[in-house]
Structure 1
Amino acid sequence: MTNFLSSKLFIISTVAFTTLTSNVFAQDADTIYKGGTILTMDDAAPRIEAVAVKDGLILAAGAAADVESHQGEATRLVDLGGAAMLPGFVDSHGHVAAGGGMQATVADLLAPPDGDVIDIASLQQKLRDWAEDNPDLVDVSGLILGFGYDPAQLAENRHPTREDLDAVSTELPVYIVHQSGHIGAGNSKALELLGYSANSEDPEGGVIRRMQDSREPDGVLEGNAHFAGLFQFSFSFGEEGRLQMGLAGIDSWISYGFTTAQEGRADPATINMLQTLAAAGKIKIDIAIYPDVMIDREIVEKHHSRAYKNRIRIAGGKLTIDGSPQGFTALRDKPYYDPVGDYPAGYSGLAYESVETINDMFDWAYENDIQMLSHANGEGASDRLIAAVEQAAAKHGLGDRRTVLIHGQFLREDQVDAYQRLKVFPSLFPMHTFYWGDWHRDHTVGPDAADNISPTGWFAKRGMKFGTHHDAPVANPNSMRVLAATVTRRTRSGDILGPTQRVDVMTALKAMTIWPAYQHFEEDKKGSIEVGKLADFVILSEDPTAVDPETLAELTVVATIKEDVEIYRAAGE
């Protein structure tokens, strides 16, 4: 009897399966992609010959002969021309609309190879040129704004002061933002508008730098002292200006192959800007928004969701525990190695928030099942983050929360073990090895510890998923620079910083695709080229697994495709 039933069930299930597959194979594809290297990020079939798409979803993926069975009279055939197609990049951490929009709009103060500011004189000229070339923006905002300067790359090896910026203008406020985003500098007019004077006290989690032997501000603002000014000046461009800045940021991400972006520390004005753009149907890619829980955690509690509406969603909350390592404001567990500037003996960085505040935020997040992103650069910041997660998990359970460590530049191996035990997802910043690796080796942590900044190797050795990011506008959202830095760890000077922390190209690509899709609870829809997933693709000029790793940064994005719609193509392609 059992054999008869088993046979009958087998026949029924076989008929059902045959009917299902016949219906699937009978469908004509809207588009078939073939003629190049296709890297899927699916370990079961890492390389395939063709992909068929129907209604924005992947219909078939595999051998060209099988996929071509979906070709109908109306099917569009896309010949990759020998280029490489991958899943669209998923932004593990960045600031697409607010910071990215500013980066794409204001004076570009980046150093080579991304810009051409090499000293304070060239920085001043950049600001003057921007003001002259953008009279409408200056008229609307009433200020001159620049982004991306880096004292480590200026000939003077120091921050510009109020006097340096007064030389640009004494009539208009001039404000510039450090490449880390955590420090800024203003001229006398900017300091006056911000209300900073000799009588001003440093805000909690911030520093107003002073002139030597005086309490007069020298123009440089750190941490929360800077953020207050940045938020105030960002409103100066008006509602329409902010909307255009937001679109400029999104377009920048798209040009580097990102089909999912992140707004990694949103204030209410940025959320409103994105909601306005979304309602108007102007957002071309998905954006996961993480509001700053120190500003408005109520909006997170009420509106966090895993479903996109008009391509945006409130995905969780963001907490910033410390500052930037290159600016000596990351919170370490020991003094900085050789900091450049006027620092007290034993200086180990800044804590933006108290232990009590951090613990309270995680208790709230775990109680309400809210995903938290936590900016923690230094070992001291990670100690606080780990303690808060342990406390919250003991009270509310560990669960599948996918709490995210953002940056983790300076870590101890015991902290890596703790993050593994607590199921914290690390979103790391290996691009620091290129931009600031030499600076970290010589000034922040010293030659020994510098080998282990952004320790992708430690996480890979433990079999952990991790993401890699650009943190734009800290750097351009250059996906190929992210890939190159993760694989080679080559610094600006040519040094290899921590050869044991390097990973292979496929691991580095997973950290830009399927693993950050997992980070966002979207691995069932994105991050790999598999049947049923979204047809989100990026086309690269060459196969990144087949070129000399030292040339990875030279690869270019040919096209970006969101749900089978081409939303970017490089000029001349």
Structure 2
Amino acid sequence: MTDHADVIYTGGDIVTIDEANPSATALAMRAGRITAVGDRDDLLAAHRGPATRVIDLDGATLLPGFLDPHSHYINSLTVANQVNVFAPPAGPGADVDAIVKSLRAFRDTHHIAPGEMIVAYGYDDTLMPGGRTLHKEDLDIDFPTTPVLVGHVSMHGAVLNSAAMQMFGIDADTVTPAGGVIVRKEGSTEPDGLVMETAFLPIFAAMPKPTQSQEIAWSKAGQMLYAAAGITTAHEGATHAGDVELMYRAAEGGATLIDVVAYPFILELDEVLQRHPAATFGTYHNRVKLGGVKVTLDGSPQGRTAYFTTPYLVDGPDGQHNWCGELGFSQDTVNGWFKQVYDLGLPLDIHANGDAAIDVALAAHEFAAADDLSKDRRTVMVHSQFVRRDQLQRYLEYTIIPSFFTPHTFYFGDAHVRLRGKAQADFLSPMRAAIDLGLRPTNHTDFVVTPLDQMFVVWSAVNRISRGGETVGADQRVTPLEALKAITINAAHQYREADQKGSLEVGKLADLVVLDENPLKVDPATIKDIRVVETIKEGTTVYRA
């Protein structure tokens, strides 16, 4: 049997993320797997055959394909049909007028049918000049009959115009559910436009979905957004039962550019289990797998809905004084969720931003895992942005993985200083402290909360610079290699796939990314400017710049 390679890469830096073999001058692959990593001359002599293609990287850098530890893949299917209103530099939404202008431009160029809803994403109320935020009347002027939903940057809510309020049945008589926010006009019960948290959940679930004829094309387009960022394994971070079936249908129809790992939402777990028993989790089918279960405990710190043990320095989103955020569910309910998931033997992803929410999660873990608190269940504390040092220590004791969100240091760092104070903001997503304790953190974009940009994720972890140019927690900076590990080998470990992905080692999948520069060699301040040249999934190029 020949061991001739299909392809040998050489002519550039090769960053393996393999501590036993950190760099190489050539990599060989055959049939979608890595067959050799090492010296160029040795590999060419041993693995080049008559049909082997020798690819010259021409000074570019080869790394393992990036694994996305947490985002919302399902949203990528519709982003191409939505309006980007991120604040600069990620989008045009600098103020209310700019947001409305973007919505008008989308309407005028997309020939929106009467009654068809326009959806935008990325609205950041913390960055509106002079605190002048978006209200339903701002949207009603240009869209009196067209429903408009402007998604909050946290993905935990939206501003709706009057037509959208009517579409979703929200009016002055609508009762705000526990753990929810429906902002009202001052002195009345009339909704002002902003709906968040548990009040937003039924709206999110009822959002228009692609038709079955659109599912495959939209799924491929969404996967290309990930591939363009060098991602070969994407994450779907709170999957509704219907979306699980959509993802499997689209994959069956050929939407298989990259791997997708989905985490069904706890409130729909029983429905998912009817068609996908727990024993089927963890196994890919047409490059889609159910990785575990998702529980959401609080909101977002920038939206002032994250749950803290101490009050925000400003009032709550609906004017609440001494506001700490709130838990949408009782501790007993959360305990029950954890026990159900642990008894099924499934990994658990827990959305928890504020330290009080993390306390609730740790208490639920102690309840559900009482037989063995330290068992490796691949329990992941997603975001963990305002984790305390004592809580990090318990992560270590309980074998809990923190999946941090360092892009917040840039996009919302200035807001966090204003809302939570400098000391707490400086310990935001404390990767340095976690690594020094012996934890193996991952790091994510939470797309569409921030853009899909893995080099920006690395840059934010290494530099921790805010949008306003301030340093947010210099002592929590990590090295470029540590930042890369958070989106490669550590993420592979999070998914129980470290034997197949996350480093360039013989026998692993040939999931690769080519960058135009080496993140370990450039000025750390310029890491965010590195561009993806090519993304390769199991030996096949799925994206080329």
What TM-score bracket applies, with the shorter chain setting the length? over 0.9
Q: State the superposition RMSD in angstroms.
A: 1.6
The yes-or-no answer on 1:558 pairing with 2:533 is: yes
Secondary structure, in 3 states, of the residue corresponding to 2:199? helix
Aligned equivalent of 1:254, options 192, 204, 227: 227
1:165 to 139, 163, 171: 139
Give CA-to-partner distance per residue, 1:511-550, whole Å, 9 cap, x none: 0100000000000000000000000000011000110100
- Counterpart residue number, 1:484: 459
Contact 1:141–1:238 (CA under 8 A) maintained in structure 2: no
State the secondary structure of the residue aligned to 2:370.
helix
Shift of 1:230: 2.4
Deviation of 1:377 (Å)? 0.5
Amino acid of the residue matched to residue 316 of structure 1? Answer: G
CA distance in 1, matches of 2:315, 2:63: 42
For the residues of structure 1 that align with 2:78 and 2:478, how far apart are their CA atoms? 33
2:284 aligned to which of 284, 308, 333: 308
Distance in 1 between residues matched to 2:213 and 2:149, nearest whole Å = 21
Deviates more, 1:301-310 or 1:185-194: 301-310
Corresponding residue to 2:241 among 253, 263, 268: 268
Residue deviations 1:310-329 (CA, integer Å, cap 9, x gap): 00011111000000110000
Q: Which residue in 2 is equivalent to 1:82? A: 59
Structure 1 residue corresponding to 2:423, chosen from 444, 448, 453: 448
Q: Distance in 2 between matches of 1:140 and 1:92?
A: 39
Corresponding position: 1:296 with 2:272: no
1:204 aligns with 2:178: yes
Computing the radius of gyration from Cα coordinates, the structure with the larger value is: 1
- Does 293-302 or 262-271 show the bigger shift? 293-302
- Tell me the CA shift for residue 461 of structure 1: 1.0
CA drift of 1:139 comes to 2.7
Secondary structure (helix, strand or coil) at the match of 1:530 reads coil
Instruction: Give the length in aligned residue pairs.
Output: 541
TM-superposed deviation, 1:339: 4.5
> Once the 2 structures are TM-superposed, how far is the Cα of residue 196 of structure 1 from its aligned partner?
1.1
> Equivalents in 1 of 2:124, 2:256: separation in Å?
31
Q: Shift of the alpha carbon at 1:472?
A: 0.3
Q: How does 1:110-125 map to 2 (within 5 A)?
A: 110-125=86-101
Aligned residue for 1:394, secondary structure, equals coil
After TM superposition, give the deviation of residue 76 of structure 1 in Å: 1.1
The normalised TM-score by structure 1 is: 0.92
1:315-334 matched pairs, under 5 angstroms? 315-334=291-310
Contact 1:159 1:220 in 2 (8 A): no
- Residue 544 of structure 1: which of 495, 519, 524 is its match? 519
From 252, 255, 273, the counterpart of 1:279: 252
1:155/1:240 Cα in 2 relative to 1: closer, same or farther (>3 Å)? farther
1:393 counterpart (347, 369, 376): 369
**Cross-structure match for 1:466:** 441
Q: CA 1:231/1:416 → structure 2, altered by over 3 Å: closer, same or farther?
A: same
Q: CA deviation at 1:245?
A: 3.7
Aligned to 1:420: 396
CA apart distance, 1:343: 2.5
Which amino acid in structure 2 is aligned with residue 252 of structure 1? L
Q: Quick one: percent identity of the two aligned structures?
A: 37
Shift in alpha-carbon separation, 1:366–1:332, aligned structure 2, 3 A: same
Q: 2: distance between equivalents of 1:419 and 1:470?
A: 22
Aligned to 1:94: 71
SS at match of 1:163: helix
TM-score of the two chains, using structure 2 as the length reference:
0.96
Shift in alpha-carbon separation, 1:498–1:564, aligned structure 2, 3 A: same
- Partner Cα distance (2:75, 2:270) in 1: 20
Aligned pair partner of 2:85 in 109, 129, 146? 109
* Matched residue, 1:3: none
**Whole-angstrom CA distance in 1 between matches of 2:324 and 2:530:** 39
Q: 1:156 to 1:249 in 2, by over 3 A?
A: farther
* CA distance in 2 between partners of 1:52 and 1:242 (Å): 36
Displacement after TM superposition at 1:474 (Å): 0.7
Q: 1:541–1:557: 8 Å Cα contact kept in structure 2?
A: yes
Matched, 1:48 2:21: no
Q: How does 1:236-247 map to 2 (within 5 A)?
A: 237-241=210-214, 243-247=216-220
Say whether the 8 Å CA contact 1:140–1:238 is kept in structure 2.
no
**Displacement after TM superposition at 1:102 (Å):** 3.0
CA distance in 1, matches of 2:270, 2:63: 36
SS at match of 2:108: helix
Determine helix, strand or coil for the equivalent of 2:267. coil
Amino acid of the structure 1 residue aligned with 2:52: T
Q: For residues 97 and 59 of structure 2, what CA distance do their matches in structure 1 show?
A: 46
Match for 1:106: what amino acid?
Answer: Q
Offset of 1:217 from its aligned partner?
0.7
Give the 3 Å change call, closer, same or farther, for CA 397–484 of structure 1 in structure 2: closer
Q: Does 1:195 align with 2:169?
A: yes
CA distance in 2, matches of 1:338, 1:104: 36
What amino acid sits opposite 1:557 in the alignment?
A: V
User: CA separation in 1, counterparts of 2:131 and 2:216?
Assistant: 35
